Structures are given as structure tokens and as C-alpha cells.
Amino acid sequence: MSKLSPAVVVVSLVSLLAACAPGTRDGDPLDNNSADATPSSKRDAAPAADSTTPPIADADGGSTPPPPPPSDGSTADVVASDGAAGADAGAGDSGAPATTGGSFPGIPQYPYRAQLPALGAKADVTSCSSNGTTVNGTASSWKVVTVNQNTRCQISGSYFVLQNSTVNHRINASGGPYVIRNNTIKAPGTGGALNTGGSDILVENNVIHHNGVIPSSADHHGMNVPGNTKRLWILRNTIYENSGDAIQFCHACIGGTHDGPAFVYIAGNTMHDDEENAIDLKEFLGPVVVVCNEMYGYDRGQFSGNGEAVRINDEGQQGEVWFAHNNYHDNRTDIAPYGSDAKGYFLDENTTNVNNSNSKSVFANGAAAKPHYDQYKKQYGLDLSGACPP
């Protein structure tokens, strides 16, 4: 949602990646949310997205979809773009990331579990520069990064895991594969506290909070997902009391190349009391899958919009989005896909607190949801109908 003041609407329109418009805040291309005087008037609605899985542009300019999940619904062999080993690497376990265990319905298991260092592993890198730090490990030898700092962490590379850190500023990460886990991130009002670009990314078990001051006329999000991001897992994080959204997708992509995030899985997170939304999906290729999250404490604020936990926005081009089994409570509005061109499926959401005027979304519970679960399994080879893990 855009911030509203009595006379001016301030919109964050700074790119995170080269494919989007270049950023200007502090000269940092990964700052997505510096203020702009552009009005937040609604842009022309984009054509409805096709129901098929959108292609992903390869590095060589080709256009092919990522490796599909196995047709039998098992996710143990989901493989990353670099050919990394499958989720459980033949170990026969659940394939979920090692932090807390368990898995979620409809979500491919994270493909690097057998490769990741232990949570207690000694750090290979203990500082992260605001001007850029590059860390490259290998599939068989990931580099561990652990820092404690009050300055921006600008990190890029592949096969690195940033863990067990405290960063009282923002983290801008790019490249991939990489992992951001078991960190505390509190930014002083600097766009997105955690900005994750690239591909094959796990963001798990972090606490992201108090980015910006509430109330505020500026957008400062807990997590921002930029354009050209693909195969991203956002699992088991706690995100709260940021002056924008807990998670926002790709505001900077709107009006440019249709390169929004693709194949994003948001599960098991707790998001609450942010000034705007828990999840604000602007432009995205999809599919985006949101399951088993708890979202609460969203109300109309002094500068915010309408107090909506979930906003499927009416800006930019949009693909498919699937919500299932989420827990909403104590919100002014739980789900707000009004005006969106996204193909949205809301299944067993257990809420009627919805603003769905003029949208193309499907809401179904129980037996009425089954055909849509069947559709998801046919398209993606995964079962979305299962129960949330304890």
C-alpha cells in the first residue's frame, strides 16, 4: 500500500536490480524504497496472466521454465539451476531445512539441506562492507558469514550462508545460491531491512523488526523482493513493527520489463503490527505460494492505507498466487485482492474478512477447494491440500 498524507502521496520507486530502474538512495542500486514524489494513482490494469507457468529467462537469453517438481508429488529431487543435489540427497528425511524441521503443503523442499554447514559452524567471514563484500563457496563447501554490525551489509556471491548475525541496518544480498538464516535484523528506516535478489535463496528463522518509525510517511519494509528473483523460500521468520510492509514484492518493477519475482514460497512466518501490510504483492511472474503463516495486528494508521493483512495489488503485471491454510486475526481486513489482475486462489483460508470487489480471485473452502488443489498438483506436481506442520 502507498503511504498517504493530507497533501502528498509518497511512493517508493527505486530499483533493486539492473533490470529495474537504478536506485538513488546513497548511490546504492539495491535500495528499493527511497522516496519519490510520483503520485500513487493506479496504473492501467495489465492483461490477465495466462494460467500456465510463466517462462523464466535463462542467463544466456533463452526462455525455459525451471526444473519441475517430480510428477508423483514427492519433492525430494527438486534441483536448483546449478544442478545442486536434491533436498534430502538420498538421506530419506523430510527434505526441509535443518533449522527447525518439518515441511509445508504445496512447497518444494529446499534443495541444499545436505550441503549446508551446521548452525554452529565457525565463520569464514566476519565482516560485511557497505560498499560490497563478495563471498563464493562451492556446492560441497559453503562459506559461513557471521557479523555483528550497525552498518549496511552489502553481500553478493554464491554458496554462502549468512547466519547467527545481528545487523542493526539493512542487508542487501544478491547472487545465489545463498542462505540468510538465524539472524536479527533491525534497520533504522532505510528502505527494506532485508533485500534479497538473485535465485535459489533461502530466508529462514530470522527476526526482522522495527525498520522505520510508526507512524511514518515513508515506506520502510521488513523484507523486499526485487525483480528477477526466482526460486525463493521465505520460511519461519518473525517480521513485525516495520513502517511499511512485512514483505513487499517489486514496486520498482512496475512500468518496466515484466521481470517480477517467480517461484516464491512463503510459509510458516509470523507477521504482525506493521504499519501497512503483512504481504503486499505488486508485480510478480508467479507462482507465489503463501501457506501456514500467521498475520495479525493490521489496522488503519495515520499515514497507511486500509489496514489489510494481505494486499494483492492493482499495479503492474501479475501471475498466479496461491494462499492456503493461513491464520488471520485482529486485522481490519484479512485479504484484499480488489482490482488485481492476478489469478488468485484462496483455499481454506477460514476467513470472510475480505475485500474482493472487482477481482478475479477464487475463494473456496472444504469440498469446493478440491478442484483447485487438483489443479495446483497437476500444474506443479505438489499437494497444496495438506495440513500445516505443528
Q: Say what the pLDDT of residue 303 is.
A: 75
What are the backbone dihedrals phi and psi of residue 354, each rounded to the nearest 5 degrees, phi first?
Answer: -130, 140
Phi then psi for 380, rounded to 5 degrees? -120, -5
pLDDT at 291: 98
The whole-number pLDDT of residue 76 equals 25
| pLDDT per residue rounded down to tens, the chain (390 residues) | 444 333 333 223 223 223 333 233 333 334 443 332 222 322 233 333 333 222 222 222 332 333 333 222 222 222 222 222 222 222 222 233 333 345 899 998 887 877 899 999 999 999 999 999 999 999 999 999 999 999 999 999 999 999 999 999 999 999 999 999 999 999 888 788 999 999 999 999 999 999 988 887 778 999 999 999 999 999 999 999 999 999 999 877 776 777 889 999 999 999 999 999 999 999 999 999 999 999 999 998 887 678 999 999 888 888 999 999 999 999 999 999 999 989 999 999 999 999 998 788 999 999 999 999 999 999 999 999 999 998
Whether the CA torsion 357, 361, 363, 364 is positive or negative: it is positive
Asked if residues 316 and 255 have their Cβ atoms less than 8 Å apart, the reply is: yes
What is the reported pLDDT for 102? 54
Rounded Cα distance, 136 and 26, in Å: 26
Q: CB-hemisphere CA count at 13 Å for 149?
A: 15
- Give the neighbor-by-neighbor strand order of the sheet with 9-12: 3-4, 9-12, 35-36
- CA angle 354–350–369, rounded 5-degree value: 100
- Which residues, in sequence order, are CB contacts of 274 under 8 Å at separation 6+? 222, 239, 240, 241, 242, 243, 244, 245, 246, 297, 298
Name the amino acid, one letter, at 312. Answer: I
pTM: predicted TM-score of the whole model, two decimal places: 0.77
Looking only at Cα atoms, what is the longest distance across the chain? 60
- Please state whether 286 falls in left (phi above 0), alpha (psi between -120 and 50) or beta: left
Q: Which domains does the chain have, with CATH numbers?
A: 124-355 (2.160.20)
* CA 113/CA 72 separation, integer angstroms: 21
Helix/strand/coil for 253: helix
Q: What grid cell was written down for 170?
A: 539493512
Q: Do 344 and 370 meet the contact criterion of CB atoms below 8 Å apart?
A: no
Decide if 109 contacts 80 (C-beta within 8 A).
Answer: no
Give the contacts of 22 (CB within 8 A, at least 6 positions apart): 15, 29
